[in-house]
Structure 1
Amino acid sequence: MRNRIAFLGDSLTNEGNWQEYFPNQEVVNFGMSGEKSEEIISRIDEVTLWKPSKIFLMMGINDLGDGLNCEEILKNYQIILSKVKEHKEIELIVQNLLPTNDTMFKSGNFDKMDILDVNLHLRDLCEKEKVTFVDLYTAFSTYTYQLIKDYTSDGLHLNEAGYKIWKNCLQSENLI
């Protein structure tokens, strides 16, 4: 029997061809472009109702873009962690936020230090809650905390090379 895998998040998740990347799994992409964490909270029951064995979650970049602070984002992560923990048969895997490239994506809303702050506290939250945490940020970041240009189409979203890196990160952690 194939594992049921759910990918949940915003446009970064939505644009991934997850079933193509993991053909031996039954994959559903629950990513939605532009979504913020509160909207993802409102859809988590839809995802758990599908009864996946694993949920890969990435959210928060749109929250930062909308002016939410780290504390508010982590509060929303905590809500999702609690809701998923009600389903003992589902493993939640939290993936940290990716960097942006401010030379390509001109926006004052995405501060690289805010992304690092969310990622640091998100790692701590996952450790405390005994939830699997995947550090994707490191694989995508330059030494100046920019999204590597070869992996992005616009400084925020990924291109095919970027999705291959993401896929490889998940496989190297033996998560899929």
Structure 2
Amino acid sequence: MKSFKYILLIFLFFSSFSTFAYLENSSNIQTPIASNVLVGDSITAAWPWQELLAKSDIANRGVSGDTSTQILQRMNGILEVKPKKAFLMFGINDFGRGADPEQVFKNYETIVEILQNAKVRVIISSTIKCSANQIYLQSQIINQKVDRLNAKLRDFSRNHGIIFVDINQKLSDSNGGLNKRYTVDGVHLNYEAYKEWAKLLSPLINEN
């Protein structure tokens, strides 16, 4: 238990530092203009989407460690890209910190409202689960929360004319968790997983 608390404290420290560094340095970075913006945490941030999708008109706005609340706080920077489409996928860090699906969903609602008010088309990817054997992440509890959030996001998307991309159908194993063949550590994705995700996003990104 002590080791778990120690790991959690380190995780929270570096998560907070990553967001602080992003906010601190964003004013010094020339913001590219892109029609497509990917919004999320380290899972989004970790991969060069322009190369994977063979398209330059993409801005990656994933920040390592970000929760839905932190993403909400940096929406101005996301809108500076002047996107036409925004692809959302986040939530796992919220649950790692004990948040409820209802809290995360409310943040999603607000983020979608901000984007739609700016005339940005929203596409939501299901929050990706962690592997079922990741005991230090309390994976069973976290994946149950992910399921509850995704059910809310699916219904919300259907009721608001938003495309919902269920990436878990591709990446999950028979136990319902993230398949080991698609992950480097039980949470973050490997190249094969990103290829599967890109197959689902590519037609949407290439739409006019």
TM normalised by structure 2 equals 0.78
CA RMSD of aligned residues (A): 1.7
Deviation of 1:49 (Å): 2.1
Counterparts of 1:104 and 1:69 in 2: how far apart (Å)?
20
* Contact in 2 for aligned 1:100/1:147 (Cα 8 Å): yes
Deviation of 1:146 (Å): 1.5
Give structure 2 stretches of 5+ with no counterpart: 1-32
Task: State whether structure 2 residue 24 is matched by structure 1 residue 4.
Answer: no
* Contact in 2 for aligned 1:105/1:156 (Cα 8 Å): no
Q: Aligned in 2, Cα 1:105/1:156: closer, same or farther, shift over 3 Å? A: farther
Paired residue for 2:204?
A: 175
Paired residue for 1:120?
A: 151
Residues 57-86 of structure 1 deviation map (CA, whole Å, 9 limit, x = unaligned)? 111110111111011011000100110111
Find the partner of 2:124 among 94, 98, 103. Answer: 94
Paired residue for 1:139?
A: 170
Deviation of 1:3 (Å): 6.3
Counterparts of 1:23 and 1:3 in 2: how far apart (Å)?
14
TM normalised by structure 1 equals 0.91
Find the partner of 1:106 among 136, 155, 166. Answer: 136
Matches within 5 A, 1:79-90: 79-88=110-119, 90=120
Paired residue for 1:150?
A: 181
Find the partner of 1:34 among 65, 84, 89. Answer: 65
Could you list the structure 1 runs, at least 4 aligned residues long, displaced by more than 4 angstroms after superposition: none
The code of the aligned residue for 1:100 comes to C
Counterparts of 1:24 and 1:8 in 2: how far apart (Å)?
17
Determine helix, strand or coil for the equivalent of 1:79.
Answer: helix
Counterparts of 1:56 and 1:72 in 2: how far apart (Å)?
20
Determine helix, strand or coil for the equivalent of 1:118.
Answer: helix
Deviation of 1:105 (Å): 6.0
Give structure 1 stretches of 5+ with no counterpart: none
Higher-Rg structure is 2
Determine helix, strand or coil for the equivalent of 1:146.
Answer: coil
The code of the aligned residue for 2:204 comes to L
Q: Which has the higher helix share?
A: 2
Identity level (%): 33
The code of the aligned residue for 1:99 comes to K
The code of the aligned residue for 1:120 comes to A
Counterparts of 1:97 and 1:66 in 2: how far apart (Å)?
15
Paired residue for 1:23?
A: 54
Residues 106-157 of structure 1 deviation map (CA, whole Å, 9 limit, x = unaligned)? 3216532211111111111112222221111111111211211111000000
